[in-house]
Amino acid sequence: MSTFRALRPGLAILIGASVMLSLAMGLRQSLGIFMPPLTRDLGLRVSDFTVAIAVQNLAWGLLQPLAGAWAVRLGMRRLMVGGALLYALGLVLLATAGGVLGVVLGAGVAIGAALACNGSALALAAASRPVPVVMRSTVLGIVSAAGSVGAMIAAPIGQALAQSQGWRVGVWGFVALSLLMIPAAWTAGKVDALPLPHQAGEGDSARQALGVALRNPLFVVMSLTYFVCGMQLVFLTTHLPSYLEICGMDPMLSAQALGVIGGFNVLGSLFFGWAGGRLNKLMLLGLIYSLRSAALAWYFVAPPTPAGTLAFAAVMGFLWLGVAPLVSGWIADTFGLRWQAMLGGTAFVCHQLGSFVGAFGGGLIYDAAGSYDLAWKAGVALGLTAGIVQTGFAWWRGGRSGRPPAPLPA
């Protein structure tokens, strides 16, 4: 009861941020189910579609620090509601696309820019403000968990509509779902009315705050290893449907796998949000990267089966968005709340560069070699390297303590 009483003043904000993030991430993660029918219908190559996903991730990453800085000046509500409208427009452009240009503008540029306003950086920054510090990591885990529910809803709906009515009808179904983001973003925007606590050393301007962060070696290493996170996840969401089709699996299996990822993502986000309040967040990140890489190696070495695919999806789902409360929570603990979204967005640039490589690079490798063997092997090797570096550096600089390291002076 005391926990609920502590959360009650900001409950509407938390619900709005959760619904907005759930739809933004769920729709985006499910776009890969349209790749096989879309490319056949429009006469495109796999790499043509993955260009759009790569552009989406690049636009999202490059605009995220700007969106975080603008949120301080303009307010979160304006950005989040505007992003929701842009998201719906991007899906309309995709549904009416007649060639690669429409696909890139819709699924790439528009949705990428929208995600900078509706994705995890702003959603988790909004969720950080109305809760006590001692509950912050757990609450961020809960909101991140909500970000995976959208995939459980969107992927089966999109796949069912695409199979029965065609891929364009499936995308129009996504347009309808995206409109629900608008009231959710408006509600989450109530966070603008809350006072913003000041933390010593956080910087009075975006430039000062960024300078403080870039002089912190832990922030730099965390940002660089974040590259692998984006590369592995976007490679899967973009190319798993194509891989399963090549292997002769039922097309519905890819949607089921994405749904399982979403379901176990809820459990993983809750667990890592809870664990991040008790253990070293940066060491937990390294553990996630290493375990993901081991799961990728196990799945792609073995012959694909429906049961194996769903088991793999469950493992990857548990390790999916658990990074979000760890990264956002560590930044808030170390640098304060004022510039949390901007600094999270700065780290996220590396994540999205990895996403670009995972989407576009995977498509190029498949078109050139006719298989995904080289792509998954590269993902495993880089993932293990990142996991070891992140864990080792966090241990060396932060020791075993779960307490966040103090920020460096400005």
98-116 residue pLDDT tens: 889 999 999 999 999 999 9
Region of poorest pLDDT, from 80-89, 167-176, 268-277: 268-277
d(CA 340, CA 389): 24
d(CA 186, CA 178): 14
Q: Tens digits of per-residue pLDDT, 175-232?
A: 999 999 999 999 999 988 887 666 555 556 778 888 888 889 999 999 999 999 888 8
Is 7-192+199-398 assigned to CATH 3.20.20.140?
Answer: no
First-to-final CA distance of the chain: 41
Over 60: is that where the pLDDT of 400 sits? no
Q: With contact defined as beta carbons under 8 Å apart, do 7 and 143 qualify?
A: no
d(CA 126, CA 330): 15
Per-domain boundaries in the chain: 7-192+199-398
Residue 372 phi/psi, 5-degree rounding, is -105, 10
Q: Tens digits of per-residue pLDDT, 243-297?
A: 888 888 877 787 788 778 878 888 888 899 889 888 889 999 999 999 999 999 9
In this prediction the pTM is 0.76
